[in-house]
Amino acid sequence: MNQTSGRTLVDSRGSSCPGPITDLAIAYRRSKVGDVIELWATDPGVKADVNAWATKTSNQIVSIDETGEKITVIIRITKR
Amino acid sequence: MKRALIVGGGSGGTILANSLDRHEFEITMLSSSFGHLFQPALLYVAFSHARARVVRDERSLLARHVNLLHDEVTSINLKKKTVTTRNGVLFPYDYLVVATGMHTDTSQIPGLSEINAEFGDYHSSLAKAERLSYHLDGFRGGTIAIGQSSPIIKCPPSPLEGVLLTDQLLRKRGLRKSSRLVYFTPYPRPYSAEPMNEVVEPLLEERDIEVMTFFDVKRIDPINRTIFSIEGDKIEYDLPIIIPPFVGANILYEPADAVDEDHFIIADKSTLRIKGTGDAFVVGDASNLPTSKAGVGAHLQAKVVAKILSGHPATFDGRTSCPFDTGDGRGTFVIGSYEAPVTKARPTRIKHLMKTAFQRIYWISLRGTLNPAFDVYFKLTAPKKAAATGN
């Protein structure tokens, strides 16, 4: 986990389920409203999990991009 | 003779110490504890009144040539290749293996320290497991809330084992109809990995266990007996069984970026070398490797490091094989690796017997004498690699 001024990079590439959602939960625990979490993953299951997580926590998914095997999810923390 | 210094006397450190060639290495183990706890037994101490011998003297588990010293390590300088202890002793090393495990930290969640002191848990210590057993004995009906308070956990199936064994216990005592069992988890589903969840979810429904997903504990109000989540939910309880957050050992590292925010050691996931080093390794729960924190990992990692130190090529593939007691005399195993996601495995009586049998052979397994049998088991149960990882 790499954190710089309100933006946290979470690199979960190569980690299968539940690795990415675990890493996201840890980053969320350490975040505050206004922060941005950028999650990198290769497990395709991360898309469904992150969508369910954002719905439950009322946080905002800014984007989900796939480049090759890499999935990049940008999340803005709007509720803590 | 090369100096191999092992910090920590749990499963990983003990197996490694016993695996190294005494003609090749001068082996020293630094352990802050005299006793070696068989940690999986705490589940049965808490929920089944198990009174088997769960702690043994670490000295009795080590080969005679291993030099065991009891002192607490306070700092490790990976650049100067030295380890310093609480008593101010400095140990230089040629090879270092950190096997300091992880421990519970109730201070991370407001209210948890009070709850934990009163009700205990089944992950911290024998005394805490006995405390929990005492409260389960005294329970006469109401709501039991059980779950993990943080995503980082020792033995991923253990929260579900706890709730399923609680259900079994209440049924045996005729209290199930007057009790509500609520299982909470920070994950989107009861078992974090979907294939095993397909096994677990029907079991929970069948046993009338309520599930609250995405429940990441924020604080506990011991006076009003309520647990609040970061996500905005709450559970009122009569008996709380809360698995505390875990952190790595409180050791000062040089360089400081060898560990993450929770004091877990950053290491290469295949060679287990600590970040930026060629001669320092980590085994077991002390690392931040993307694999389950469980005894089987410590066992396999210790064997990999022993081979590397002896000059043989070896890598760790992230293999897990966590026994999972689903109650009523049945069990299963959660099996996976870095490249093979966890697979679905239905509970059977034979698998439960295997888990029970392991408790009897654990102490012998630390000596390495059962390694050929374990090698066969791991080969026979090797998970299939997926073309693309997924749930």
Give residue B391's pLDDT.
40
Confidence of residue B389 (pLDDT cuts 50, 70, 90): very low
Do the Cβ atoms of A26 and B260 come within 8 Å? no
Q: What is the CATH number of domain B2-101+249-380?
A: 3.50.50.60
pLDDT tens for residues B79-135?
Answer: 999 999 999 999 999 999 999 999 999 999 999 999 999 999 999 999 999 999 999
Is residue A80 annotated as part of the catalytic site, yes or no?
no
Residue A61 CB neighbours (<10 A): 16
ipTM of the assembly? 0.84
Report how many Cβ contacts below 8 Å link chain A to chain B: 79
In this model, does residue B251 exceed pLDDT 60? yes
Confidence of residue B50 (pLDDT cuts 50, 70, 90): confident
A23 min Cα distance to partner chain B (Å) = 8
Which of residues B133 and B194 earns the better pLDDT score?
Answer: B133
Residue pair B98/B8 in contact (Cβ under 8 Å)? The answer is yes
pLDDT tens for residues B282-316?
Answer: 999 999 998 889 999 999 999 999 999 999 999 99
Q: What is the CATH number of domain A2-76?
A: 3.30.110.40
3-state SS string for B143-191: EEEEEECCCCCECCCHHHHHHHHHHHHHHHCCCCCCEEEEEECCCCCCC
Minimal CA–CA distance to B81: which of B264, B265, B274?
Answer: B274
A1 touches B: beta carbon within 8 Å: yes
In this model, does residue B75 exceed pLDDT 70? yes
Judging contacts by C-beta atoms under 8 Å, the chain B residues touching residue A56 are 188, 213-214, 231
3-state class of A37 per DSSP?
Answer: strand
Q: Residue B237: CA atoms inside 13 Å, Cβ hemisphere, count?
A: 26
Do the Cβ atoms of B336 and A16 come within 8 Å? yes
pLDDT tens for residues B345-371?
Answer: 999 999 999 998 888 899 999 998 888
Q: φ and ψ at A25, to 5 degrees?
A: -60, -40
Give residue B198's pLDDT.
95
Which of residues B282 and B386 earns the better pLDDT score?
Answer: B282
The mean pLDDT of B201-212, rounded to a whole number, is: 98
Classify B105-245 by CATH class. Answer: alpha beta
Which of residues B209 and A45 earns the better pLDDT score?
Answer: B209
One-letter amino acid at B14 equals T
Confidence of residue A3 (pLDDT cuts 50, 70, 90): low
In which residue ranges of chain B is CATH 3.50.50.60 found? 2-101+249-380, 105-245
Give residue A1's pLDDT.
67
In this model, does residue B380 exceed pLDDT 90? no
Confidence of residue A79 (pLDDT cuts 50, 70, 90): confident
Residue with tokens 């429904």: B205
pLDDT tens for residues A17-61?
Answer: 788 999 999 999 889 999 999 999 998 889 999 999 999 999 999
A74 min Cα distance to partner chain B (Å) = 19
Mean pLDDT score of chain B, rounded to an integer? 94
Point out the catalytic residue in the list A9, A17, A61, A74: A17
